[in-house]
Amino acid sequence: MSKTAARMIAGQLILKPNSVLGLATGSTPVGMYAELASMYKRGEADFSKAVTFNLDEYYPIARENDQSYYYFMNEHLYSKVNLNPQNVHIPDGSAKDIETECANYDKSIDEFGGIDLQILGIGNNGHIAFNEPEEELTDKTHLVKLTDDTIEANSRFFASKDDVPRNAVTSGMATILKAKKIILLVNGKGKGTALKKVLSGKITTACPATMLNLHRDVIVIADNEAME
Ligand code: GLP
């Protein structure tokens, strides 16, 4: 899964060196980032002109906090490849005026011409980025309250469940669906139910990832455990 996704990203950068990549955090893409770092070392991937936008960030959180998604991206990718620090973007989890931060984030993606290739993981409950199952979903980048499910699932990375931030800034559904191409990575047993819902072709806000069925160019790369 990780190798296939990494090769697709490297291929995208050969076709268009200044591609705008949409990137995800979580445990799922860790192997993909490791593979990209190895490919870069071997001279098989060049990020010098690439632009990146991450999907989401906890709120409130400081960049220096080792649980922030900025910290994660720096650990797994930014410090490992030749990305220009000026070309990497993550919502600012410490922004005072969060509404302006959200609006500027969408504006900035548009100014770079939109996302060429979006990498996505999926939550156990079918969330993408931090678009949680709800009666209504939101189009643009916005502040969300995390569900108990997500706080519980993500608490494995924190000292305790109480340390997990209760809110996050997330790309909206339209921000994601506007990407020209999307790769959805799915691994592990816990993701089986959500993956089945996505592959059923039915669309429901109760499983935000099913909205990917509205997009014309989505590739799902799943491991055997998720497919069982
Ligand atoms: C997190 C992130 C998502 C990620 C998902 C799955 O909460 N906001 O972008 O796709 O949950 O995480 P993991 O890959 O660790 O299962």
| Nearest atom within ligand 1 for CA of residue 130 | 8
Instruction: With beta carbons less than 8 A apart as the criterion, state whether 194 and 209 touch.
Output: yes
Of 217, 173, 150, 227, which is closest to residue 196 (Cα–Cα)? 227
Rounded CA separation 26/6 (Å): 16
Quick check: is 132 catalytic? yes
Under-50 pLDDT residues of the chain = none
Quick check: is 56 catalytic? yes
Can you give the pLDDT at residue 149? 86
Can you give the pLDDT at residue 15? 98
Can you give the pLDDT at residue 89? 98
Can you give the pLDDT at residue 164? 93
Any ligand 1 atom below 6 A from CB of 91: no
Rounded CA separation 66/133 (Å): 27
Q: How far is the CA of 183 from the centre of ligand 1 (A)?
A: 14
φ and ψ at residue 172, rounded to 5 degrees:
-85, 180
Can you give the pLDDT at residue 115? 98
* Maximum distance among all Cα pairs of the chain, rounded to whole angstroms: 47
Residues paired with residue 118 on neighbouring β-strands, in sequence order: 22, 182
Angle, in degrees to the nearest 10, between helices 30-41 and 2-15 = 50
CA-CA distances (angstroms) from residue 87 to 53, 159, 187, 190, 212? Answer: 8, 32, 29, 34, 27
Q: How far is the CA of 85 from the centre of ligand 1 (A)?
A: 24
Predicted complex ipTM exceeds 0.90: yes
Instruction: With beta carbons less than 8 A apart as the criterion, state whether 57 and 92 touch.
Output: yes
DSSP state of 74: I
In sequence order, which residues have a C-beta less than 8 Å from that of residue 100 and are 6 or more positions away? none
φ and ψ at residue 124, rounded to 5 degrees:
-55, -35
Can you give the pLDDT at residue 105? 98
Q: What architecture (CATH level 2) is domain 2-227? A: 3-Layer(aba) Sandwich (3.40)
- Give the pLDDT confidence of 95-110 residue by residue, as tens digits: 999 999 999 999 999 9
